[in-house]
A and B are shown apart, each in its own frame.
Chain A
Amino acid sequence: MCLAVPGRVVGIEERDGTPMARVDFGGVVKDVCLAYLPEIEVGEYAIVHVGFAIQRLDEESALATLRLFERIGALDEEFGDAWARAADETERAPEEENR
């Protein structure tokens, strides 16, 4: 959760009076609130944390970070299925105890 992931703004719209964006995180697209970075434009990159864009980022550093996160599995942790992970961990527990 503490991770902030860079993504590319692919679309902007207003919802309930708040600027929102569709942001592409290396293939995963999410709704992101732009209230804290209202001046960002389509095509630009931003650091996004728990659904909020918090700072602009240049393309080169954004792409480098995304590649790194993908390699170390951080993207899966951020956007993957938390229930499946928790179930997986709980299921394997007895096995671990017997080791």
Chain B
Amino acid sequence: MKYIDEFQDPALARRLLDDIAGTVTRPWSMMEVCGGQTHSIIRHGIDQLLPEQIELIHGPGCPVCVTPLEVIDKALEIASRPGVVFCSFGDMLRVPGSDRDLFRVRGDGGDVRVVYSPLDALRIAQQTPDQQVVFFGVGFETTAPAIAMAAHQAKRLDVRNFSLLVSHVRVPPAIEAIMRSPDCRVQAFLAAGHVCSVMGTLEYPALADTHKVPIVVTGFEPLDILEGIRRAVRQLERGEHRVENAYPRAVRPQGNQVALSVLREVFTTTDRAWRGIGTIPDSGWRLTDTYRDYDAEHRFEVTGLTTEEPTVCRSGEVLQGLIRPHECAAFGTACTPRTPLGATMVSSEGACAAYYLYRRLATPRMEETTSID
């Protein structure tokens, strides 16, 4: 029990683990949707503390990882234009496009700025009216309301030199796509807590019902994850498939109503390509026609780019839980966080980075898995 002392409340962690061990009678596999959860799991060795029968499959919940190459290339193209101030969250700087990244664009003279909030980008636009300020809006439902508010404010304050390159993704269609895949091994989901802080939980009962799959809304601290797993195992053992909220301190069933109303005003759902996975119907958000003037793709006419994906990278399979990072031949050799071939190695929330950072090759259970194949 090498890791358990590191838990905030080791005694409670012990009790949760005992409860899980006492409940489980046969093998189950469940997917944690959110990349923050994946990191917490690997960092605290939760997967190794669990009974052997429980397998955690890492999900696609890292927006940096799933942003399509085409969109990254569009970002690089726009950021390289003279007169443009390109604002982004810091995590996007080293995501590889076809031939470079945003960090390189800045090195080559592009005005790329890291902002903490999309409203900071809007402020830059107000302060530099002779420049075109573009914000790179990526993220799941937790991030989308912030981007929506930036668009809403820009329109309200009539800031004309501001636009958004939008590539937002939604969790429920991703769950749907994973369940529909013929290779699907997922029997339960730990849903992403902060996504549900915004969206609530009302989108999930239909999914749980249709696919007969328990969905437990879970936070991402180690104890939250153990509690989520405990509830998922209970349901699986009893043959139930309900939506449960194991993160009530941050999630109300109806979500954040104010945020939802702004989201609905600014965005409409659209089919979206996920990097490494492909297009998932209705899985993204784009600006509504009312906000077309604020759409950077429209304003800068970035079309007809040809993309070039590295062929060795298997991040699509990693993101769908079909392989584990170390099963990729490039893992830890050609591909490391400093020389990433895929976004799952760049992003601090990516599964490949988590495995690399926490040396998930030298541990007994991983060796066992490796020797099987």
Contacts and interface: CB of A to CB of B under 8 A. Distances in A.
Interface in A23-40: 30-33, 35-38
B214 interface: no
A26 B354 CA distance: 25
A72 B43 contact: yes
Contacts of B64: 1
Interface string A78-99: 0100110111011011001100
* Max chain B C-beta neighbours (<10 A), residue from A38, A54, A67: A54
A32 B35 CA distance: 24
Interface string A9-33: 0000000111000000000001111
Contacts of B61: 2
A50 B90 contact: no
B250 A51 contact: no
Nearest to B336: A96
A1 B338 contact: no
Interface residues of A, number: 43
A83 B110 CA distance: 14
Interface string A32-72: 11011110000000010111101101100100110110001
A75 interface: no
Given A16-B153, A86-B94, A96-B339, A36 B194 contact: no
Given A1-B63, A36-B256, A90-B338, A52 B145 contact: yes
A49 B258 contact: no
Q: Please give me the 10 A-B residue pairs with the lowest Cβ-Cβ distance, nearest first.
A: A51-B117, A82-B90, A93-B338, A36-B259, A86-B93, A1-B89, A82-B114, A55-B197, A52-B146, A4-B194
Interface of A: 1-4, 16-18, 30-33, 35-38, 47, 49-52, 54-55, 57-58, 61, 64-65, 67-68, 72, 77, 79, 82-83, 85-87, 89-90, 92-93, 96-97
Given A2-B143, A16-B157, A54-B142, 12 more contacts: A1-B64, A2-B35, A4-B142, A4-B197, A32-B117, A49-B143, A50-B143, A52-B145, A52-B146, A55-B197, A82-B89, A83-B93
19 contacts: A1-B63, A1-B138, A2-B139, A2-B140, A2-B142, A2-B143, A4-B197, A33-B117, A36-B259, A37-B258, A47-B250, A50-B143, A64-B8, A65-B221, A68-B221, A83-B93, A83-B114, A90-B103, A93-B339
